[in-house]
Amino acid sequence: MVLTFRTAMLSEGEEVARVIRAAFTPYVRALGREFPADGSAEYAEESERFAAELERGDVYVALDDERIVGAVRTKPKEKDLYIHTIAVDPARQGTGVGSWLLQRIDEVARARGLGGLSLETAEMAVANIRLYQRYGFEIVSRGPPDHGLDPHIRVYMAKSL
């Protein structure tokens, strides 16, 4: 497997969104939720936010040949790079793509001179927490999600660079 990592192009927005949605559907359902319905106000708001991230260059992709097999949505903060979403196409999960993406995002943060990475995940996502810990993330706190869309406790994690 030879992967390529780069900033997502605006023209790839639909495919990146498809990979994220496919990867996160089981997770979102486990939280007792569904993705916003096409045409809803929530869907429009999320689509607008995602388009702005693409324009700013805050979305990265993993490609196998020309096929997008993974994606990372980031948000630069004052001293670190926040990983909003890291997603791997379900057909490629368990093949190392997620680990590879974490390494690439680490490189992005270091190249920008940032002091670390941060993220959050649901407490029930034990496998994700273990993966992040293997890559140097530490749990800094636990608590309810800021968005209030579900009651599931989140684990807030950070990694110093």
What are the pLDDT digits (tens) for 46-57?
889 999 999 999
Structural domain including 37 reads 3-160
Q: Is the dihedral of CA 99, 146, 111, 114 positive or negative?
A: negative
Give mean pLDDT, residues 1-17: 94
Q: What is the pLDDT of residue 156?
A: 96
Q: Is 12 or 43 the better-scoring residue by pLDDT? A: 12
Instruction: Give the span between the Cα atoms of 151 and 93, in whole angstroms.
Output: 27
**DSSP, residue by residue, 22-49:** HHHHHHHHHTT--PPPTTSHHHHHHHHH
Tell me the per-residue pLDDT of 16-44, one tens digit each, with 9 for 90 and over: 999 999 998 887 787 777 776 777 777 77
* Pair 111, 144: CB distance under 8 Å: no
Supply the CATH number for residue 14's domain: 3.40.630.30
Element (H, E) at 82: strand 80-88
Give the chain's domain count: 1
Tell me the per-residue pLDDT of 111-139, one tens digit each, with 9 for 90 and over: 999 999 999 998 988 989 999 999 999 99
In the block, tokens 């990592």 appear at 5
Q: What is the pLDDT of residue 38?
A: 75
Q: Which of 17-21, 42-46, 74-78, 153-157 has the lowest mean pLDDT?
A: 42-46
Give mean pLDDT, residues 82-100: 95
